[in-house]
Amino acid sequence: MALPPLDSPQWQSPWRAFAWGLRSITQTILTLVLFATYLGIGALAHDSHFSLLWALCSTLFVWAGPAQIILITTLGSGATVIQSAIAVTVSAIRLFPMVVSVLPLMRTPTTKRRELFFAAHLTAVTLWVECHRFLPQVPRERRIAFVNGLGFGLVSVCLTANTVGYFLAANLTKTLGAAILLLTPLSFLFSTARNSREVADVVALALGVLLYPLAAKMNSGLDILVSGLVAGTIAYSVHWWREVRA
Amino acid sequence: MSFAQLIGDWHALFVLFVAGVVPNQIWRMLGLWFGGGIDEGSELLVWVRAVATAILAGVIAQIVVEPPGALASVPDVLRYGAVAAGLVVFLLTRRSIFAGVVAGEVFMLAGTWWLG
């Protein structure tokens, strides 16, 4: 399935754009990966004695795989609500620059902030990656509808996966469970690498991975933030230095 | 499994709201609020995107270095090896996400089986 050309009448109705967004979930390996990741989250929730409703609400209202895994793991292992909240807050910081960088792709001069509310809520790693891939092929005035459709489709897939994983949990062997959890870092690493076109993106990704273990040794509770800020700023300096020399 | 078990209790849902929903929505809504005046080609955005990428890279490293749940039962060498093997295949296949993920998974599963 290819998206219609930018000047096609297919794009005239926002509902058609929503439908094209919804159908686009079949155009990415990340949908499969999300399904597998959320299968694992459903299973993890079951094994940590959370209810199915709890797992589904976490997917619907948190909508960030790493945050959900951190939340379930910390609460499940007896951390206090405050400790979990801090860990999740830190893991969620990356959503801020993602939202900041993705919303301008959808905005027109007349767009009101409230029209972007659902797009902001739906923004997480997968949507962020896919927006950069799909949106150049979507007329600007239909991009919000398209993203809402894409996000709605992805959330539905994940809610289904949670339910299946929750009921499978009793039968999942330890090795299979580990394989499902390993899908998350592998898929996020390669999908981000694939979408890194600028040198700054590649440097940020590689340095971010390498600096995290160093930052974790400081044991500040802000490891992810420290390594992310340092690696990201170095990557930006590389970009800036190349611009100046060019 | 009873219906009550599937619903759970309200206390757990309250904890989800406080420790899960609020910490995530704060950042998204801040992004919605402050993203308004920023031009997509601006230098600030290049920096912000680099930091976002590096923070995600940190989460990826964290899951492999300090693994949650069942992944903790897999020896270090197999987890790191799986990422390395996946990366090599990803690069050799001209950046195929699918090939990289499958290679990493196969490495870990084969290693687990081989180590018994």
Q: Dump pLDDT digits (tens) for A208-221.
A: 999 988 888 876 66
pLDDT tier at A80 (50, 70, 90 boundaries)? confident
pLDDT tier at A170 (50, 70, 90 boundaries)? low
Best to test chain B binding among A82, A129, A181, A189 (most B CBs inside 10 Å): A189
Q: How far is it, in rounded angstroms, from Cα A216 to Cα A213?
A: 5
B26 lies in some domain: no
Average pLDDT for A66-93? 80
Checking if the pLDDT of B74 tops 70, the result is yes
pLDDT tier at A171 (50, 70, 90 boundaries)? confident
Checking if the pLDDT of B40 tops 60, the result is no
- Torsional sign, CA B105, B107, B108, B113: positive
Q: Kindly report the nearest CA distance between residue B18 and chain A, in angstroms.
A: 7
* CB contact (8 A) between residue B58 and residue A208: yes
Contacts of residue B7 in chain A, CB cutoff 8 Å?
51-53
Contacts of residue B65 in chain A, CB cutoff 8 Å?
212-213, 216
Both structure tokens of A87: 């860990």
Average pLDDT for B71-100? 94
Phi-psi region of A108 (alpha: psi -120 to 50; beta: other; left: phi over 0): beta
> Which residues constitute the domain of residue B86?
74-116
B57 lies in some domain: no
Quote the number of domains for chain B. Answer: 1
Q: Kindly report the nearest CA distance between residue A192 and chain B, in angstroms.
A: 8
B79 lies in some domain: yes
pLDDT tier at A176 (50, 70, 90 boundaries)? confident
ipTM above 0.85, yes or no: no
CA distances for A200 relative to A13, A207, A218, B20, B64, angstroms: 37, 10, 26, 31, 24
Cβ-based neighbours of B78, under 8 Å, separated by 6 or more: B107, B108, B111, B112, B115
B45 lies in some domain: no
Checking if the pLDDT of A178 tops 70, the result is yes
Of B48, B49, B61, the CB nearest to A212: B61
User: How is residue B39 annotated by DSSP?
Assistant: -
Selection from A61, A97, A59 nearest residue A225 by Cα: A97
Q: Kindly report the nearest CA distance between residue B77 and chain A, in angstroms.
A: 14
B97 lies in some domain: yes
A171 vs B65, more confident: B65
- CB contacts under 8 A, B 84-103 vs A, are 86-87, 90, 95, 97-98, 100-101
Q: Kindly report the nearest CA distance between residue B72 and chain A, in angstroms.
A: 8
Please say whether the beta carbons of B87 and B100 come within 8 A. yes
Burial B52-70 (b: 16+ CB within 10 A, else e): bbbbbbbbbbbbbbebbbb
Average pLDDT for A185-195? 84
Q: Dump pLDDT digits (tens) for A20-71.
A: 999 999 988 789 888 888 988 888 888 788 999 999 999 999 999 878 987 8
Average pLDDT for A104-119? 90
Q: How far is it, in rounded angstroms, from Cα A242 to Cα A157?
A: 42
Q: Dump pLDDT digits (tens) for A133-146.
A: 899 999 999 999 99
Q: How far is it, in rounded angstroms, from Cα A130 to Cα A188?
A: 12
B86 lies in some domain: yes
Check residue B38 and give its pLDDT. 62
B95 lies in some domain: yes
B16 lies in some domain: no
Checking if the pLDDT of A123 tops 60, the result is yes
* CB contact (8 A) between residue B28 and residue A99: yes
pLDDT tier at A113 (50, 70, 90 boundaries)? confident
Check residue A2 and give its pLDDT. 81
Check residue A218 and give its pLDDT. 79
**Percent residues over pLDDT 90 in chain B:** 51
> Cβ-count burial of A110 within 10 angstroms (0-12 exposed, 13-18 middle, 19+ buried)?
exposed
Q: How far is it, in rounded angstroms, from Cα A112 to Cα A97?
A: 20
Checking if the pLDDT of A73 tops 80, the result is no
Check residue A144 and give its pLDDT. 96
Q: How far is it, in rounded angstroms, from Cα A43 to Cα B107?
A: 23
Q: How far is it, in rounded angstroms, from Cα B72 to Cα A190?
A: 22
Check residue B107 and give its pLDDT. 97
Average pLDDT, chain A: 88
Helix locations, chain A, DSSP H: 14-23, 29-47, 52-61, 65-76, 81-92, 95-102, 117-122, 125-134, 143-168, 174-194, 199-218, 223-245
